[in-house]
């Protein structure tokens, strides 16, 4: 049952991921990307990461809706009404991506992965909470500062005055 769900979600995640760059409407591309993220969130739920899986699902829904707004602002080809190519150097990109996948797949199949150490805690969410408020607190502090820096930087960049005026 789990294996079936894994394969269905995996094929759907990659399929909708490919669809992002194949469909000719950017709105459809946004929702294909959302579907891909939802499938990835489902995979997280399958390995027992309930909190992180739901976090990915909720966050990606919001993020893709925000993305849809920006998509309308900076759209090259609204609703696919004007058939046009939105790509450059397609063959080179395909070669690089294919080569990268071949290298990664070879590594994945050839590397002797370490044995599983330990067992999943009864509640992974509690373990994560303990970690970010204990041994991994530095990570959370750096994330917090990074988020603050991003908020300031985005406002500075996006104001009408711009970055270069006095």
Partner 1 sequence: MTLETFLLLAAALFCVGLYGALSQQSIVMLMMGIELMVNGVVVAAAGFWHWVSPGSADGQVLVLVAITVMALEMAMGFAVVTALFRARDVDMTDDAGDLRG
Residues 25-54 that bind partner 1 (CB under 8 A): 26, 29-30, 33, 36-37, 40, 43-44, 46-49, 52
C-alpha 44, offset from chain centre: 13
Should residue 122 be labelled a site residue for partner 1 when binding is judged by CB under 8 A? no
Six-digit token string for 95: 């070669």
Determine which residue in the list 83, 112, 164, 166 makes contact with partner 1, applying CB under 8 A. Answer: 164
Should residue 145 be labelled a site residue for partner 1 when binding is judged by CB under 8 A? no
Which single residue is written with the structure tokens 């150490």? 117
Residues 54-93 that bind partner 1 (CB under 8 A): 55-56, 59, 63, 66-67, 70-71, 74-76, 86-90, 92-93
Backbone angles phi, psi at 30, to 5 degrees: -60, -45
* Minimum gap (Å) between residue 17 Cβ and partner 1: 4
Question: In angstroms, rounded to a whole number, what is the distance separating the alpha carbons of residues 38 and 19?
Answer: 14
* Minimum gap (Å) between residue 148 Cβ and partner 1: 11
Should residue 13 be labelled a site residue for partner 1 when binding is judged by CB under 8 A? yes
Contact 33, 16 (CB under 8 A): yes
Which single residue is written with the structure tokens 């994330």? 143
């Amino acid at each position: 049952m789990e294996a079936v769900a894994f394969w269905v979600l995996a094929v759907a995640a990659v399929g909708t991921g490919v669809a992002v760059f194949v469909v000719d409407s950017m709105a459809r591309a946004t929702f294909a990307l959302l579907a891909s993220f939802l499938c990835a969130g489902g995979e997280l739920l399958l390995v027992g990461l309930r909190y992180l899986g739901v976090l990915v699902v909720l966050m990606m829904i919001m993020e893709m809706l925000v993305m849809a707004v920006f998509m309308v602002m900076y759209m090259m080809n609204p609703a696919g009404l004007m058939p046009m190519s939105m790509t450059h150097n397609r063959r080179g990109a395909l070669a690089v991506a294919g080569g990268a996948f071949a290298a990664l797949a070879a590594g994945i199949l050839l590397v002797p992965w370490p044995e599983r150490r330990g067992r999943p805690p009864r509640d992974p969410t509690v373990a994560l909470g303990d970690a970010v408020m204990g041994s991994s607190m530095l990570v959370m502090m750096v994330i917090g500062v990074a988020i603050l820096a991003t908020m300031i930087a985005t406002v500075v960049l996006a104001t009408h005055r711009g970055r270069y005026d006095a």
